[in-house]
Amino acid sequence: MAQLILNPGRERSVMRRHPWVFAGSVATLSGRARPGDTVEVVSDRGVVLGRAAFSPESQIRARMWTFDADTPIDHAFFKRRIAASVARRNAHPMLAGQDGVRLIHGESDGLPGVIADRYRDTMVLQLTSAGADRWRDAIVAGLLQATGCANIYERSDSEVRGLEGLGPVVGVLAGQAPDPDLAIEEHGVLLGVDAVAGHKTGFYLDQRENRRLTRDLAKGRSVLNCFCYTGGFSLQALAGGASEVLSIDSSGHALASARRNLERNPQLDASRATWLEADVFEALRKLRTEGRRFDLIILDPPKFAPSAAHAKRASRAYKDINLLGFRLLNPGGILMSYSCSGGIGQELFQSIIANAACDAERDAQIIHRLSAAPDHPIGLAFPEGEYLKGLVSHAA
């Protein structure tokens, strides 16, 4: 087995069980290794720190499979890791009975580059690293054994694969292709899952509990849902008894899916729902000019800052959207604001929203701090895993 030898002092993060070894930490590769091969990670003093997947084209030169020097990386390893990850979800009371669950959440479940989401009897697998790609067959076998899922479909089409020197891979891995009319029930609402062409693996499971909170807050309120995508927040607001829900997205295809989701739920009052295809920033400015106001506003934009290098530009966009949000709130209204940008930390995000409230001349209080659902755990040694953050503010 080849050895990845670290520069002096660079073993500290690995010893603290951080799963990434960056290129700048590496002194040399002793031996030969292809992309995705398992290598030993060794300190400059010759201490073996664990075993990792090698990725020569990525700035993340290796991703740790194990911090144990003697654990073999083989089919049995993936069988154990996957079974343990699935068992944790099965034991969590908040996930009991859910049709859609993330069963593997990458590094935080000890499986870097592996994402697996179950939607009823269909599993959608996404492999984003060279190591995960190398062990595809073992991962599929482990998922089949641990879940009994009839169908596994691969959606390894994320742009981050390019950083690993990998091209997109999409297709059936087991069973049949996903049902075009696949839907899951979430807190009493049916929501469609486009596993073949939708965002991510077809749905945003990470917002599950935050959508339920929207339902709890919506009764009797006028609601504005921005960047609504396929309408998950909108439908939960209707289910919670919102007086009206205006949903805005720039994608006509997403709005068509949202309308289809509303049709799946005849118990909801469709007359209270309005769908608007528009640029959200422009639409909000127009609503302000028209004098519109809302009691509950949801801002769930796409990723403005994929990395810290984009934070400054992204901060301006987040400030702009939240400023408009505060200005459209009725007195006593609630603003639910989210960021899925890894480059925007919790402290910066709160500062941005505070500045927006100040510029809007609104006194506001944080009443909830939100994050991803419990099937999206965050490894204590891997703070980079905390990408989704949300603040719910009450504005006087």
Instruction: Please report, for the chain, how many H helices and E strands are present, in that order.
Output: 10, 20
Reported for 12-15, long-range contacts at CB under 8 A and 24+ positions apart, including other chains, are: 14/41, 14/49, 14/50, 14/64, 14/67, 15/49
- List the single range of 91-100, 244-253, 308-317 with lowest mean pLDDT: 308-317
- Can you say whether the dihedral through the CA atoms of 358, 361, 363, 368 is positive or negative? negative
- Alpha carbons within 13 A on the beta-carbon side of 55: 30
Residues in Cβ contact with 354 at an 8 Å cutoff, skipping those fewer than 6 apart? 364
Closest C-alpha among 143, 17, 134, 131 to residue 85: 143
Measure CA of the first residue to CA of the last residue in the chain; give whole Å. 63
Predicted confidence (pLDDT) at residue 28 exceeds the cutoff of 90: yes
Contact 135, 93 (CB under 8 A): no
Of the residues 149, 226, 228, 340, which is catalytic?
A: 340
Rounded mean pLDDT, 87-116: 97
- Can you say whether the dihedral through the CA atoms of 316, 346, 108, 187 is positive or negative? negative
Query: What are the pLDDT digits (tens) for 126-163?
Result: 999 999 999 999 999 999 999 999 899 999 999 999 99
Residue 216: the pLDDT is 98
Residue 227: the pLDDT is 97
Amino acid at 69: A
Looking up tokens 């062409």, which residue turns up?
A: 197
Residue 307: the pLDDT is 67
Cross-strand pairs, 127: 114
Residues in Cβ contact with 136 at an 8 Å cutoff, skipping those fewer than 6 apart? 127, 154, 173
Backbone angles phi, psi at 3, to 5 degrees: -120, 135
Token reading at 202: 């077809």
H-helix segments, 240-278: 252-263
The domains found in the chain, sorted by start residue, are: 3-66 (2.30.130.10), 75-174 (3.30.750.80), 204-395 (3.40.50.150)
Q: Would residue 340 show up in a list of annotated catalytic residues for this protein?
A: yes
Token reading at 46: 């010759």
Token reading at 388: 């989704």
Residue 343: the pLDDT is 83
H-helix segments, 92-223: 130-134, 136-147, 208-217
Count of CB atoms situated within 10 Å of the CB of 189: 23
Query: What are the pLDDT digits (tens) for 276-326?
Result: 999 999 999 999 999 999 999 999 998 886 666 777 888 999 999 999 999
Residue 250: the pLDDT is 97
How far apart CA 324 and CA 347 sit, in angstroms, is 21
Rounded mean pLDDT, 208-224: 98
* Rounded percentage of the chain residues whose pLDDT exceeds 90: 95
